[in-house]
Amino acid sequence: MGGNNNRAVFIGIFVILIGAIFALKLFVLQVADPSYKLSAESNTRRKVIQFPSRGLIYDRNGKLLVSNQAVYDIMIVPQDLTAFDTLDFCESIGVTPDELRSMFVNMRKQLRQKKILPYKPSVFYKQLSAERYGRFQEKLYKFKGFFVQRRTLRKYEYPLGAHVLGYVGEANKKLLKKDTYYSQGDYVGISGIEKVYEEQLRGHKGVKYELVDVHGRIKGSYRSGRFDVPAISGNNITLSLDIDLQQYGEMLMKNKIGSIVAIEPQTGQVLAMVSAPTYDPSLLVGKVRSHNFGILSTDSLKPLFNRAVQARYPPGSTFKTLNALIGLQEGVLTPATEYSCNMGYHTRSLSVGCHHHVSPLDLTHSIMISCNAYYCHVFRNILDNPQYGSVQAGLNAWKDFMVKFGFGYKLGVDVTNEARGFIPNASYYDKIYRGSWSSLTVISLAIGQGEILTTPIQMANMASMLSNRGKYFTPHVIKQIEDGDIPERFRTVHETGIDTANFTPVLKGMELAVQGGPGCTAGIARIPGIVVCGKTGTAQNPHGKDHSIFIAFAPKDDPKIAVAVYVENGGFGATWAAPIASFMIEKYLTGEVSQRRAWLEKRILEGDLIHGNKK
Amino acid sequence: MAIRNSYKSSVDWFTIVIYALLVTFGWINIYAANYSPDSTVFFDMSSEHFKQLIWIALSLVIIGMIFLIDSQFFVEFAYVFYGFTIFLLVTVLLFGKEINGAKSWFEVGPVRFQPAELTKVATALALARLLSRFGFDMSKPMNIVKIGAIIFIPVLMILLQNDTGSALVYFVFILVLFREGMTGYILFFGFIASIVAVLTLIIPNIYIFALITATILITLFYNGVRKCQIKGLLWGALAAASLYFAGKLLKINLLPDYVMLAGIAALTIYLIIISFKKRLRVIPLYLLILWGAITLAFSADYFFNKVLNDYQRTRINVLLGLEEDPLGAGYNVNQSKIAIGSGGLTGKGFLEGTQTKFDFVPEQSTDFIFCTVGEEWGFAGSMFVIIGFVTLILRLIILAERQHSDFSRIYGYGVALIFFFHFAINIGMTIGLAPVIGIPLPFFSYGGSSLWGFTLLLFIFLKLDTNRNELIR
């Protein structure tokens, strides 16, 4: 035994050696190296994003337009799945077994492509309704590997104002790359108010740290929620829209193509913005969106196209008011200037026709009667003003006025996809005519035809500017933002450089156009007890019947509303646009339509310019 | 026979205290590993901590019974007991229940039992009985066969159950044999062989061959064989080069290993000629070692690639750092290290662990129970366990050495070294120093079979120790 005692010592030392190695390794693991502690934290601490509810949207009178509705996404953790009663599952979420099968096929495909991970939750079924959710939640314990995550979708209280409101959708890849605030699956305003005021509406995402086990099951809050940041709801916003007026406008434009824009002149606030045909904004919410979007985007009448800000039409005779103002301001025209008209403006090379009316006319009556010849004279005088020395300089001076009136560039409204329209300048014509052109060449600009293109919102802004005698605020649909100011640009007044006095004869003409006696062009827009100023327009349309145009504001001396109406293929301005504008004014100012005009209202409401055209 | 007979010694309380401390601390950690803030019912019949409490109580009954039995009984019935447990192993192979891929459990109602735990005790007893036979000579071939049979019959049975971990435990009996006078060369060569085997998995064979050859040549140089190395190497290089160019010429794709081997073969032949010419007897011995090592390198490769399962291969690769697999085989070890590492110096506190509660660590109440110790009790708690086990094992060696009878001593070593193996492999596994082999940490891992097995193992020895001054045979 004695000799073997060495071996006992040897074995003993070996045991101690292993113990010492372990102690050393444990010291490194537990005391010296802090990285394991950090790993442990990230292991069990799950950062859960708390989604704020989006700000609500109200109309100018405090009526709720857009709110939120809860929906429930069914989430799946593939590795936690066990066999379950698929029929029961189908029944409680309302899908057919075939649909469920294809959902699983799809999930397996995504798993193979590593788009989703077996141990991480991913969306299995989107947007379960609240009532379905109730049923599903009761049975959830039977379906291992599934859980439900709450999300909110927009809810529209009225089927109105789709183009203004816009819609909300999941952030796309481009946005995700650009703005780190968003992550995959986040909702973001895609168009309209939702896009423009996204930052105010979205609120601030919160963070909640939860302790989770290896299967991602929640085991409690991390350090009693010490590091949690609650989500802050988005700010509510109030729009300047009057939803009743909007509704009425959409009714008036039913079965017509075109647009109505109504503005409060003192503020530039948009009271109604109609683009017809329109759609119910609820069509673009939730599961039905992609389906409906497909239908809407392939509709030949382009309901998704916001004609109020995107469509570009010639302004027609409404521009006579502006040419008159420029003429007066440039001193090439006085209120007393008279021109005669013999069924038009005739030169050796070119004629601009006119309708039959008394002749000669002064400025006021030229507007009332909308004489083409008168404005051919006025326009040529503006362009050939000796003060400028050349027709090019004359046209550019004219263009500068037009730009000051809000044309040719985007107004900067808070509605998405605004078009800028087009006001030609000298170099434009130099290019076309290789430098050899005269005021006669571009004479159609005199009566608002030719190359000029304007949008309905620019036209409404023009009506607003006229009513304010030369001042305007950039039109906008925002009225108030909770805990914030509306953008500075909507609070700055724009001057047009026309003396106030120059407006008197022009506005008088517009008044007479509606209220005046024989020969007035827009008598149909007359409203009992309200002085309406208006101007008709008829835009030639190479594709079909002329567009019917009308701009107006009322009351004349204390303007509360300025309107522009376009009815595509509606013919004369007085046929469709003028009555529609007058009803908008009457409805807004008096709240109802007078009995005496009920027959007209009926004609407009029942008028069908879409289906009739097709026949 | 009985020189100092009827001299009863007292029981070794020191060991019993360590046992009590380890079992208690073990139970606390099982409670913590299963603790969930949601359910605070302590007396839940189905909970592991409650069941373990019952197993502990039954262990006390077992201890009581052991102390009632006469020490002589364990000698007398060693073979019978051994035979019985082998019978159990056969039965479990036929009628057992498969759990985690190993068919090593009996299941009777709610109670599961793993007979392999008993077999360890029986094998230790049987080996002690065999080696303690009067005049037993370990070097006799017949005796070597007997020893081999006692050790390898259970190993074979357990391997058939597909429970590799439990089978590996039996290799500690080699250390017992070492203590009992087995030549140290076996341990030494075993050690060298395992290093070569591991190296072959890490480094390409060709470098191993070069390394071994260089070592042998240098050793020969120091053993007086000089001047012939350079010539031998030249012959070798010539042979290798000619094979290489022959291969090129015949467009045969030769592995560099074989070119190298051709060189070594040429060197060998040259050295053999030299040894005959100069009558240098030392040369053949070293050449034998050289070719033994080469064969070992090849067979390690073969064993690794052809015999082992994929998952076993992966585990070894991860351990050797050849494979990064943090979510696969490395996942468990990685999570285990994170759990232990996150404990810090003093731990997160009782029931405050997060890694070991929320299932990040696998088998958190059985094989990876040490993670709970590390996480909740920190370095302090870990050291308590390490020191506890090292003290227990050293104490058992001391106790074994003081036995008057060979049987008690040999059995004592068996006990000490079985504890040592479990301790070293289990804790080594959780801290990434040993491959993931599923064997329990004595007194800590949840489970009745393992607790009873270790209790039985330990207390039979403590009972024998009370008769340490007698000659039990």
Distance CA B114, CA B97 (A): 10
Contact A44 B433 (CB under 8 A): no
Residue pair A372/A352 in contact by the 8 Å Cβ criterion:
yes
Ranges of H-type helices in A281-330:
289-298, 307-310, 320-330
Domain boundary among B307, B337, B354: B307
The amino acid present at B332, given as its one-letter code, is: N
Confidence of residue B391 (pLDDT cuts 50, 70, 90): very high
Distances (CA, A) of B130 to A538, B120, B140, B156, B190: 120, 15, 13, 20, 24
B445 in a domain, yes or no?
yes
Distances (CA, A) of A541 to A453, A548, A585: 12, 10, 27
Residue pair A534/A548 in contact by the 8 Å Cβ criterion:
no
What's the gap in Å between the CA of A50 and the closest CA on chain B? 23
Confidence of residue B199 (pLDDT cuts 50, 70, 90): confident
What's the gap in Å between the CA of A55 and the closest CA on chain B? 37
Does residue B1 have a pLDDT over 60?
Answer: no
Contact A15 B390 (CB under 8 A): yes
B317 in a domain, yes or no?
no
Task: Tell me whether B394 touches chain A (CB under 8 Å).
Answer: yes
Reference B381, options B9, B32, B11, B15; nearest CA is: B32
Of B345, B358, B424, the CB nearest to A214: B358
Of B338, B341, B394, the CB nearest to A12: B394
- What count of residues does chain B have? 473
| Claim to verify: residue B230 and residue B370 sit in the same structural domain | no
Ranges of H-type helices in B225-346:
228-250, 256-278, 282-302, 310-319, 329-341
Phi, psi of A262 (to 5 degrees): -120, 135
B89 in a domain, yes or no?
yes
Distances (CA, A) of A560 to A490, A577, A586: 18, 19, 11
Distance CA A225, CA A351 (A): 82
B8 in a domain, yes or no?
no
Contact A36 B338 (CB under 8 A): yes
- Cβ neighbors of B144 (< 8 A, separation 6 or more) are B138
Of B181, B341, B420, the CB nearest to A29: B341
Distances (CA, A) of B457 to B74, B261, B393: 11, 50, 13
Distance CA A103, CA A98 (A): 9
| Claim to verify: residue B207 and residue B291 sit in the same structural domain | yes
What's the gap in Å between the CA of B338 and the closest CA on chain A? 5
Contact B179 A30 (CB under 8 A): no
Interface of B with A in 12-41 (CB under 8 A): 36-37
B85 in a domain, yes or no?
yes
Average pLDDT over residues B141-151: 89
| Claim to verify: residue B357 and residue B287 sit in the same structural domain | no
Distance CA A526, CA A135 (A): 59
Residue in chain A nearest B413 by alpha carbon: A8
Distance CA A424, CA A20 (A): 91
- Cβ neighbors of B189 (< 8 A, separation 6 or more) are none
Of A12, A30, A44, the CB nearest to B341: A30
Can you give the pLDDT at residue A1? 41
Can you give the pLDDT at residue A430? 92
- Cβ neighbors of B373 (< 8 A, separation 6 or more) are B25, B29, B381, B382, B385, B444
Residues of B with CB below 8 A from A117's CB?
none
B254 in a domain, yes or no?
yes
Q: Which domain holds residue B200?
A: 192-307
Distance CA A322, CA B270 (A): 115
Residues of A with CB below 8 A from B424's CB?
18
Q: Is A138 helix (H, G, I), strand (E, B) or coil?
A: helix
B368 in a domain, yes or no?
yes
Contact A11 B397 (CB under 8 A): yes
Interface of B with A in 316-355 (CB under 8 A): 335, 337-345, 354-355
Number of domains in chain B: 2
Does residue B43 have a pLDDT over 70?
Answer: no
The amino acid present at A41, given as its one-letter code, is: E
Tokens standing for residue B113 = 């039992």
Structure confidence by residue, pLDDT tens digits, B314-371: 767 766 655 555 555 566 777 788 888 888 888 888 887 777 666 667 677 888 899 9
B369 in a domain, yes or no?
yes
Q: Is A344 helix (H, G, I), strand (E, B) or coil?
A: strand
Q: Tell which of B173, B354, B406 to mutate to test the A interface (max A CBs under 10 Å).
A: B354
| Claim to verify: residue B336 and residue B444 sit in the same structural domain | yes
By the 10 Å C-beta count (0-12 exposed, 13-18 middle, 19+ buried), A140 is classed as: middle
Does residue B3 have a pLDDT over 70?
Answer: no
Contact A29 B390 (CB under 8 A): no
Confidence of residue B235 (pLDDT cuts 50, 70, 90): confident
Could you say which DSSP state residue A572 is in?
A: S
Residues of B with CB below 8 A from A37's CB?
341-342, 344
Contact B358 A211 (CB under 8 A): yes
| Claim to verify: residue B172 and residue B198 sit in the same structural domain | no
Task: Tell me whether B359 touches chain A (CB under 8 Å).
Answer: yes
Task: Tell me whether A23 touches chain B (CB under 8 Å).
Answer: yes
Q: What is the DSSP string of B332-399?
A: HHHHHHHHHHTTTTT-S-TT--STTTTTSSTTTTTTTHHHHHHHHHHHHHHHHHHHHHHHHHHHHHHH
Contact A26 B387 (CB under 8 A): no
The amino acid present at A39, given as its one-letter code, is: S
Task: Tell me whether A18 touches chain B (CB under 8 Å).
Answer: yes
| Claim to verify: residue B243 and residue B379 sit in the same structural domain | no
Task: Tell me whether A36 touches chain B (CB under 8 Å).
Answer: yes
Can you give the pLDDT at residue B394? 95
Reference B60, options B459, B471, B461; nearest CA is: B459
What's the gap in Å between the CA of B70 and the closest CA on chain A? 26
Q: Is A273 helix (H, G, I), strand (E, B) or coil?
A: strand
User: Helix, strand, coil % (nearest 5) of chain A?
Assistant: 40, 20, 35
| Claim to verify: residue B38 and residue B159 sit in the same structural domain | yes
Tokens standing for residue A162 = 């789709």
Residues of B with CB below 8 A from A118's CB?
none
Contact B394 A16 (CB under 8 A): yes
Say which residue the tokens 């996942």 belong to.
Answer: B331
Residues of B with CB below 8 A from A27's CB?
379
Structure confidence by residue, pLDDT tens digits, B55-75: 999 999 999 999 999 989 999
Contact B37 A44 (CB under 8 A): no
Distance CA B262, CA B243 (A): 7
Task: Tell me whether A30 touches chain B (CB under 8 Å).
Answer: yes
Contact B345 A5 (CB under 8 A): no
Confidence of residue B103 (pLDDT cuts 50, 70, 90): confident
Interface of B with A in 112-151 (CB under 8 A): none
Contact A8 B401 (CB under 8 A): yes
Residues of A with CB below 8 A from B393's CB?
15
| Claim to verify: residue B30 and residue B177 sit in the same structural domain | yes
Residues of A with CB below 8 A from B355's CB?
40, 43-44
Structure confidence by residue, pLDDT tens digits, B164-180: 788 889 988 988 888 88
Residue in chain A nearest B332 by alpha carbon: A214
Residue in chain B nearest A213 by alpha carbon: B358
Residues of B with CB below 8 A from A214's CB?
358-360
Task: Tell me whether B433 touches chain A (CB under 8 Å).
Answer: yes
**How many contacts, defined by CB atoms under 8 Å, are there between A and B?**
116
| Claim to verify: residue B176 and residue B201 sit in the same structural domain | no
Of A12, A31, A39, the CB nearest to B397: A12
Cα dihedral B147, B152, B154, B155, rounded to 10, equals: 150
Distance CA B383, CA B385 (A): 5
Interface of A with B in 184-223 (CB under 8 A): 211-215, 217, 219-220
Contact B386 A43 (CB under 8 A): no
| Claim to verify: residue B88 and residue B230 sit in the same structural domain | no
Tokens standing for residue B366 = 């059985």
Q: Tell which of B18, B332, B355, B429 to mutate to test the A interface (max A CBs under 10 Å).
A: B355
- What count of residues does chain A have? 615
- In chain A the domains, ranked by start, together with CATH numbers, are 41-63+157-239 (3.90.1310.10), 70-151 (no CATH), 243-282+308-614 (3.40.710.10)
Confidence of residue B304 (pLDDT cuts 50, 70, 90): confident
| Claim to verify: residue B271 and residue B396 sit in the same structural domain | no
| Claim to verify: residue B163 and residue B242 sit in the same structural domain | no
Distance CA A201, CA A235 (A): 5
Residue in chain B nearest A28 by alpha carbon: B341
- Those residues of chain A that have pLDDT short of 50 are 1-3, 614-615
Of A4, A15, A30, the CB nearest to B382: A30
Residue pair A358/A503 in contact by the 8 Å Cβ criterion:
no
Residue pair A172/A296 in contact by the 8 Å Cβ criterion:
no
Residue in chain A nearest B400 by alpha carbon: A8
> B165: how many CB neighbours lie within 10 A of its CB?
20
Task: Tell me whether B186 touches chain A (CB under 8 Å).
Answer: no
Task: Tell me whether A11 touches chain B (CB under 8 Å).
Answer: yes
Confidence of residue B42 (pLDDT cuts 50, 70, 90): low
Distance CA B112, CA B378 (A): 32
Can you give the pLDDT at residue A217? 58
Task: Tell me whether A7 touches chain B (CB under 8 Å).
Answer: yes
Residue in chain A nearest B376 by alpha carbon: A30
